[in-house]
Structure 1
């Protein structure tokens, strides 16, 4: 694989990097977090102005036709800034589902709203008993006139409390864990029969519990058989999360190196002690391992072969989880006691990395997934 960025991709990286440096720092992030939705609507509008919301959408739908590497670039820069906006749920996951599932009319209408910043999506798929099993869907869909009604409960819906549209998975037939018989539906979060409990998560983002009781829904696509699309969206989301994690790891290393250069003990900077230099070197190695696997996962995240695609993104998720633990713990240790305080940003990076490890399957889960397909390809 060629891991070199093209000229256009490098320009995108530079643009997003400058934007995040200008609009985000630790103090500004705290202010954004205190806003009603848990993020800055002004920043979201700026994403639209910069074209960031258009990245994965086809040109015929008003997008720029970007691929997974373009999304990787954006997510890595957002990871450096600990960005709060619902980019993953709306643009990455929503964009994937619209590309693979929606009818042309549905895709065109929603893409236009998303690209303009007027529509945020939330993917309501996880259920309380599902753990990380994607096919575990108990929520029921029943035909009702020209549409459907949904009954069930969804948990840990990223930014479900601010979504303009919910994309909900529900079963029209089959047993709870069957691959067949699961459809994707558009639901208005303000409609009758939809109850949403919004709450902050440990990393400063927001999620929601969604309860559906006879809620009206529109089928996405032409058929209620969408598990392949759900798995595709999950793999693209994992690749994007790996990129975000790599960005957070890079910033954690930068903060730690600067801290040990500035912090003095016994009349000299602690960074001059060889033992700490060795630890910083080990952190750099972990970062490079993580970034190489991030790129591998991103480039394979739209592979037409679902087994090879899953193998690649699981391998990337395992390495990012391991690197996050090793580099993250060292960054806290080298900061000492202040690394655990709310006033220092380094602890917030470690929190976000810890949550990323548990999103769409933790390290142990993806190790088991790799084992099930015979490990890494030869």
Structure 2
């Protein structure tokens, strides 16, 4: 397998790194935290103008038709820059689900998503489901004009910012996906901010009526989309881990104790090396997951993504904890970005399935 990037991918990565380092920064991060839904509209539009959302949109629907590896390169840079705009939950995940169905049928929705004129959210989680998309008590009853949706969804990321929501519901044919307008009668949202930046909402669907054309996919499309989102989230976490390693290394070279930089203490050098090892091993797992996320073999895709999510989940926790401890008390202050990176990595641990969920899924697929 050729693991080298193409010249186009190198340019893509370079542009994303420059934006995160120079066009965003800690001041913009704090500004986005204060924005409605913790998403700055100007930054979101800029992300769209760069074509980074269009990477997940098929060429047939006016997008760039990029791979998950392309998306991962952007996500890693955004993670390193502490960017909290909902790139994965508000764009990549819904675009992947829509593209898995009839992309031409959803061309208008995908175009609005790619240009930054719309954001979407995916509502699949339910209380008691423990990250399993096949756990679905929400019902879809076929009517004369379409479908009637009833039920409740939990923690739909980016729902407060979404103009439309992709909702999973169980019909006579099994679990299906429906595109529901935010203003649909009978749909109510209880929004809230989430750890690490961003927003989510709990949904209540009280006899929500949608047309026959609102049906956009099946459980298979949801599972494929979630795997691509998980692979991108792993890349985003890798970016945060890399940033923490760089900042911690620089701090150890400048912070002095007993008249010398604490980075000269061998025990702290060992801890920094341990952080480096976890970052590099995570990089390998992220590349594997991104490369296999587009596989036509659903079992292979799920196995590789779960392996990466389980490993990076553990590694990111270790790197985050070491960075905070090596910085001391200042590592958890609001004025320093270290604690904010730590929060993002902590939130990543349960986003799109926690370590236990993915270890169990990997074990079941490897048996």
Instruction: Give the TM interval when normalised to the shorter protein.
Output: over 0.9
1:34 aligns with 2:34: yes
CA distance in 1, matches of 2:17, 2:241: 15
1:64 aligns with 2:56: no
Question: 2:196 aligns to what SS in structure 1?
Answer: coil
Question: 1:359 aligns to what SS in structure 2?
Answer: coil
1:233 aligns with 2:232: no
CA distance in 2, matches of 1:204, 1:20: 16
* Structure-2 residue corresponding to 1:212: 205
Change (3 A) 1:340 1:220: farther
Shift of 1:335: 0.6
* Structure-1 residue corresponding to 2:97: 97
Cα offsets for 1:240-296 (capped at 9, x unmatched): 111011111001111111111121111111112111111111111110000000000
Change (3 A) 1:221 1:232: farther
Gaps of 5+ in 1: 174-179
1:363 aligns with 2:362: no
Cα offsets for 1:130-165 (capped at 9, x unmatched): 112220000111223322121111111111011010
Shift of 1:204: 2.0
Question: 1:161 aligns to what SS in structure 2?
Answer: helix
CA distance in 2, matches of 1:282, 1:159: 35
* Structure-2 residue corresponding to 1:10: 10
* Structure-2 residue corresponding to 1:253: 245
CA distance in 2, matches of 1:222, 1:94: 14
Change (3 A) 1:340 1:153: same
Gaps of 5+ in 2: none
* Structure-1 residue corresponding to 2:48: 48
TM-score (norm 1): 0.93
Residues 132-143 of structure 1 aligned to structure 2 (within 5 Å): 132-143=131-142
Q: How many residues align?
A: 367
* Structure-2 residue corresponding to 1:158: 157
CA distance in 2, matches of 1:365, 1:270: 39
Asked if the contact 2:177/2:215 (under 8 Å) is kept, the reply is no
Shift of 1:218: 4.2
* Structure-1 residue corresponding to 2:174: 181
Change (3 A) 1:103 1:14: closer
Change (3 A) 1:243 1:45: same
Asked if the contact 2:77/2:239 (under 8 Å) is kept, the reply is yes
Asked if the contact 2:309/2:355 (under 8 Å) is kept, the reply is yes
CA distance in 2, matches of 1:142, 1:216: 10
Cα offsets for 1:320-356 (capped at 9, x unmatched): 0121122111111101111122222111111111111
CA distance in 2, matches of 1:220, 1:9: 36
CA distance in 2, matches of 1:324, 1:19: 23
Root-mean-square deviation over aligned CA pairs = 1.6
Shift of 1:318: 1.4
* Structure-2 residue corresponding to 1:176: none
1:109 aligns with 2:108: yes
1:338 aligns with 2:330: yes
Aligned partner (choices 300, 311, 314) of residue 303 of structure 2: 311
